[in-house]
Structure 1
Amino acid sequence: MDNTENFYGRPVAGMPSAASTAAPTPLRPGTPSETAGRNPFGDGIESQASHRSSGLNGNPFASPSASRPPSSFDSASALGRFDGGQRYFHSRRVRKGEIEKPWTKQVDPKEKWVTILPILGIVLGLAISGFLVWDGIRSVVKHNYCLVLEENWANGLNEKVWMKEVQVNGFGNGEFEQTTPGDANVYVENGHLIIKATPQDDALMQKNYEIDLLKDGTCTSDNPAYCIAATNITAGNSSIVPPVLSGRINTRRGATIKYGRIEVTAKLPVGDWLWPAIWMMPLDSAYGPWPQSGEIDIVESRGNNYTHPQGGNNIISSALHWGPNPANDAWWRTNVKRQALHTTYASGFNTFGLEWSQKYLFTYVNSRLLQVLYVNFDTPMWTRGNFPVQDANGTRIDDVWSKTGRAQTPFDQPFYLILNLAVGGTNGWFEDNVNGKPWLDGSPNARKDFWEAKGQWLPTWTQPQLEVSKVMMWQQCDGDEDL
C-alpha cells in the first residue's frame, strides 16, 4: 500500500503518494506556487517536510524565506540566528534605527531637584527631630534626691516610722473590714511585710455584740462613729460588726515628702472583693477637708480575676483626687489604668513608683519608662477642673488654690504613704450587679449581704494578702523644694 505524507511531513499508510497519482493534485484558488501545494490547506505556509528541505529544522512557525525582506538577513550574531541562517522572530513594526533612547538625550537641569528636594526634606526633618529631643532633655528639671526612708523590714515594723490605723467603719468608703492593732493582720514574715485579710468570728454575727475601740484605747480616729460597731439581732435590724479583719499602716510619724520619688515593691492579693492600695495623703489639710487638699493614689487594684469587667488583679489604676468638695472630686480627669502583659500583678513582685515635682507628677511600674498616670502642672488645677461656681445647695464654691500662685496646688505640700488591704465597700469601687457582687452599695444590709455570701467569696481567697518586700522614699534636696 502506498504511503504519503500528512501536513506534518509524516507518511500516512493507505494513501497514494503524489508521485504515483496520475493526475496532479489541483491547487486551491489563490495558491501562489506549486510548493505551497504540499500543504494540505493550500494557504501558502510550507509544511514541515518542506521546512526540513529548506534547512529550518522543521519549525512550523518560522517565516518562509521568500516572504522575508532582504533587510532581515543580517549577521548571525546581530539577529540571533539559529541553524540555517534563520531567526524565530523579527518585529516588522519597529524598523532599525527607529527605537527611542531617552537616556542618550540631554537631561533637563531642573530634573535634578526631583532627587535633591526629598533628600533635603529628610535631612531637615532629622535635624528638627534632633533639636526637639535635645531641647526636651535640656529643659527637663534634674533633681538631686535625698534618701528619706529605706525599709526592707529587717528589724520588723519600725513603730517610729509606721503607724497602724485602727477603725471599724470603713474609712469613709463603707469598707467591710475592721483594721486591727495587733500582729494577726499586719506582721513581718521572711523579711516581707504582710497585710492579710481574715474572716471575722462567725459567733459575733449571731448575737448582740458591740466592738468599742474607744474603751480599749486602740482607735486611731477622732470620730466615735469610726470606733464603735455592733451586731443587733433584733427583728428588722440588719446591723452587724465588720465581717472581715484586715490592716492599714502609714508613715505619718516618720517619713513624708514634698516632691520626690517613692518606690514600693509588692505582690498584690488574690481573692474576690479584696481591694489593695498604695497611696498618699497630705500631712496637714492645708486647703481644707478631702478632697480640697488632694490625694495621690499610686496603685489600686482588685483581688478578683481577669473576668471582672472593671479589671481584677491583672489591672492597676493610678489617680489623683482633687476638688472643692466630694461632689466635685475631679479624679476622673486624672485616672489611668494599666494592664499586666500575659500575667497578673498577683503572680509576682512589681515595683510601683511615683515621681513628683513642681512641674509634673507621674506613676510607673518597674521602670520610669512604663508610666501609668502622667499629669503636667502646666495649667492651674482649678482651671483644669472647670468646677461650677456653686454647689447643688446654691452655696458659692471658692477657689482656694489659685491664691498660692502655683499651678500644682494642692499637690504642693508634704504627703505621707499609706499601705492597706480593704475589703468590699459601698463607694462604687466594685460596681453593682457585676460579676456576682453579693451586695448593693445603697442597701442598709450591704455588710450582712456580703457576709451571708461567704460561701461564694471565701474559697477564692487563695492569696488574701498584700505582700511588700521593700519601700523607698526620696525627697528633693536641691534647694527648689520650696517652690
Structure 2
Amino acid sequence: MSSRTSVHAPGVLDTNPFTTPLRQSRAPSISDHSASGRPHSYFPTVSSSEPQVRKRKFKTARLVPGEYDEKPWALEKHPKLRWERAIFYGSCGLGVAIGAFICYQAYSSVTNHDYCLVMSDDFTTINKDAWSFEVQRGGFGSGTFEWTTDDPKNAYTDAEGLHIVPTLTTESTSISKDQMMDNYVLNLTTDGTCTAEGIDECSIRSNKTAGTVINPVRSARLTTKGKKSIKFGKVEVVAKMPQGDWLWPAIWMMPEEDTYGEWPRSGEIDLAESRGNHGDNFTSGGRDSIISALHWGPLPEVDAFWRTSGQHQIRRTDYSAKFHTFGLEWSEDYVFTYIDSRLLQVFFIKFNKLMWDRGSFGKALVNDSALYNPWVQTGQKNTPFDHPFYLILNVAVGGTNGFFPDGVGNKPWGNESPTAPKEFWDSMANWLPTWGEGDKRGLTVKSVKMWKQGGC
C-alpha cells in the first residue's frame, strides 16, 4: 500500500483540509515544567493570542458549485408518496381488522354446553359408592402381566390423593419365588375375589417345564362401572404419572353395555395413557408423552384407533414430575381430549361422517371375508360413541398387544412369546431399579370430576 506526502515551501500554509492541523504545536521545552519539576501536558494549551486555524467544511470537488441544488428530492414531495403511505397504513389497518374478525368468529364458534356435575372425588378415602375394584389376573385382553387386587398395598389414599401402586407378588403375598415358578395354583374364583368369569382370568398353575408363572406383579384397577357414567359430557382427572420401565398407567373409559357387540364394536375412549420408561428409548415417547385415542371397529383385527388418536410430548421434564389435568369433552357432534386446558388439545374428532365410512371398513377383508357393519341400524354419525361410558383408573405392567414394541428400549420379552411373563420376570434386575420408591412407581390421582351434558 503506497502513501503520498505533501511538501510545501517554508512559510506556506497547507490548505489541504486533510493535512491542515487544528493548531500549531511545538516540542516541549524546559519552561514547560511546573515548579515541582513535572512537565505539563505534552500538547501545550494554545493561548488566545495565538492565531487559530478554523476547520473548514468538507466540499466535494466532483460537483461544480452552483449547478446543483442540495437534496432536490426534499424540496417538493411527490404526490405518489402520499398514496404509498395511504396504501401501506390502510393495508395494515385492514389486516388488523380481518385478524380481529377471524379471532372473534373462532371464539364465538366454540361450543359451550351446559353441564351438570355427577361426580366429584378428592380421594380422602376410596368411596365405594363411586368406585369398584376389578380383580383378575388374565391381562384384560392386552396380555399384561399384573394381577389386579383390592389390596391396600396396591390402592390407598393419603394427603396427596389416590395411589395405584404396583408391587412384586413375592413382596406382597406369601407366595415364594419357587412357588411362583412351579407347582402353585392361584384360583381367585375359589378365593371369592375374582370379578371376571373366564377360567384364564381367574386362575393359573405355575409350571417350570412349560414356562408358566404366577403373575409376577400385583397392581390395581378402579372403575365407576354401574355407579357413575355419562353419555356426552365432560371429565377432568388431576393426576401424576408413575416412573419405571414397562409401567403402563391409563385414564380411560369403556361402555356400560356392549350395545353394539364386544370390543371394539362398542367403542373405547382413552383420555391419557403413558409409558413409565424414559422417553429417550421410544420414538413415540415414554413418560414425557401422553397418548389419547378412540378405539372402534367391527373386529379387533381392524381396530381403527390410529385414525382417531393424538399425542403430546413435553421437553426437559415428564408427566411424573408434577400434577396435570387430563380432560375430555364429548358431545353428539365431536369429542376431544386436552391437557391442563382446552387450549392444549391432544386430539379433536368431529363426527361429520359415519364411523363405518371413516374407517373404510367396506373395503377391508379379514380372513378373505367382508366385514359386517355393527352400527348400520342407528344411522348416527357418532355411533358407537353415542351411549353411556364409565371411567377407569389403573396401572398395568408390560403386555403383548404392541403398546411396548418388540426390540425397543431393551425390552426383555417378545409379544408372540408364550412365556412372555417369565421372560419379564427373569429380567427383574434390569427394570426394578428404574421403578421409583414408594408411590413414585404408582399413578397418583388428586381429583376426579365428571359432568353430564345438559342441565341438572
Interval containing the TM-score (normalised by the shorter chain):
0.7 to 0.9
User: Are 2:166 and 2:218, in contact at CA under 8 Å, matched by a contact in 1?
Assistant: yes
Q: By how many angstroms is 1:85 displaced? A: 12
* CA displacement 1:106-160 (0-9 Å, x = unmatched): 734x553322223332222222222222222223222111111111122x22222
1:241 to 214, 225, 229: 214
Match of 1:257?
Answer: 230
Distance 1:341 1:85 in 2: 64
Match of 2:10?
Answer: 49
Q: Give the TM-score normalised by the residue count of structure 1.
A: 0.78
Distance 1:165 1:86 in 2: 98
Unaligned runs of 5+ in 1: 1-6, 9-44, 63-81
Q: SS of the counterpart of 1:215?
A: helix
Q: SS of the counterpart of 2:402?
A: coil
Q: SS of the counterpart of 1:171?
A: coil
Letter in 1 for 2:141: G
> 1:182 aligned to 2:151?
yes
1:121 to 91, 95, 108: 91
Match of 1:292?
Answer: 265
From the superposition, tell whether residues 294 and 59 of structure 1 become closer, same or farther in structure 2 (CA, over 3 Å). closer
User: Are 1:207 and 1:232, in contact at CA under 8 Å, matched by a contact in 2?
Assistant: yes
Q: SS of the counterpart of 2:346?
A: strand
User: Are 1:163 and 1:253, in contact at CA under 8 Å, matched by a contact in 2?
Assistant: no
1:33-44 map, 5 Å: none
Letter in 2 for 1:471: V
Q: By how many angstroms is 1:362 displaced? A: 1.7
Match of 2:191?
Answer: 216
* CA displacement 1:363-402 (0-9 Å, x = unmatched): 1222222222222223333332222434222322233435
Match of 1:107?
Answer: 78
User: Are 2:17 and 2:55, in contact at CA under 8 Å, matched by a contact in 1?
Assistant: no
Alpha-carbon RMSD:
2.7
Match of 2:454?
Answer: 477
User: Are 2:182 and 2:213, in contact at CA under 8 Å, matched by a contact in 1?
Assistant: no
Match of 1:381?
Answer: 355
Q: By how many angstroms is 1:58 displaced? A: 8.0
Q: By how many angstroms is 1:94 displaced? A: 3.2
Distance 2:7 2:434 in 1: 94
Distance 2:352 2:63 in 1: 75
From the superposition, tell whether residues 136 and 222 of structure 1 become closer, same or farther in structure 2 (CA, over 3 Å). same
Q: By how many angstroms is 1:191 displaced? A: 5.8
Q: By how many angstroms is 1:421 displaced? A: 0.7
Match of 1:351?
Answer: 325
Q: SS of the counterpart of 2:370?
A: coil
Q: By how many angstroms is 1:190 displaced? A: 3.5
Q: SS of the counterpart of 1:372?
A: strand
> 1:231 aligned to 2:200?
no
User: Are 1:162 and 1:253, in contact at CA under 8 Å, matched by a contact in 2?
Assistant: no
Distance 1:151 1:283 in 2: 20
Distance 1:90 1:118 in 2: 37
User: Are 1:281 and 1:296, in contact at CA under 8 Å, matched by a contact in 2?
Assistant: yes
From the superposition, tell whether residues 50 and 371 of structure 1 become closer, same or farther in structure 2 (CA, over 3 Å). same
Match of 2:102?
Answer: 132
Distance 1:58 1:178 in 2: 100
1:61-76 map, 5 Å: none
From the superposition, tell whether residues 404 and 112 of structure 1 become closer, same or farther in structure 2 (CA, over 3 Å). farther
User: Are 1:51 and 1:59, in contact at CA under 8 Å, matched by a contact in 2?
Assistant: no
Q: By how many angstroms is 1:459 displaced? A: 2.0
Q: By how many angstroms is 1:446 displaced? A: 0.6
User: Are 2:138 and 2:201, in contact at CA under 8 Å, matched by a contact in 1?
Assistant: yes
* CA displacement 1:161-213 (0-9 Å, x = unmatched): 21111111100001001111333322223462121111123232243112122
From the superposition, tell whether residues 414 and 61 of structure 1 become closer, same or farther in structure 2 (CA, over 3 Å). same
Distance 1:59 1:131 in 2: 63
Letter in 1 for 2:129: K
* CA displacement 1:277-323 (0-9 Å, x = unmatched): 11001111222221121111111111112332242222221111112
Match of 1:465?
Answer: 442
User: Are 2:181 and 2:212, in contact at CA under 8 Å, matched by a contact in 1?
Assistant: no
1:61-460 map, 5 Å: 89-91=59-61, 93-99=63-69, 101-105=72-76, 107-108=78-79, 110-154=80-124, 156-190=125-159, 192-201=161-170, 202-233=177-208, 235=209, 237-309=210-282, 310-401=284-375, 403-460=377-434
From the superposition, tell whether residues 264 and 50 of structure 1 become closer, same or farther in structure 2 (CA, over 3 Å). same
User: Are 2:248 and 2:276, in contact at CA under 8 Å, matched by a contact in 1?
Assistant: yes
Q: Give the TM-score normalised by the residue count of structure 2.
A: 0.83
Q: By how many angstroms is 1:343 displaced? A: 1.8
Letter in 1 for 2:291: S
Q: SS of the counterpart of 2:386?
A: coil
| Count of equivalent residues | 411
Q: SS of the counterpart of 2:197?
A: coil
Distance 1:276 1:214 in 2: 26
User: Are 2:162 and 2:446, in contact at CA under 8 Å, matched by a contact in 1?
Assistant: yes
Distance 2:83 2:144 in 1: 72
User: Are 1:160 and 1:253, in contact at CA under 8 Å, matched by a contact in 2?
Assistant: no
Letter in 2 for 1:224: I
Structure showing greater radius of gyration is 1
From the superposition, tell whether residues 88 and 338 of structure 1 become closer, same or farther in structure 2 (CA, over 3 Å). closer
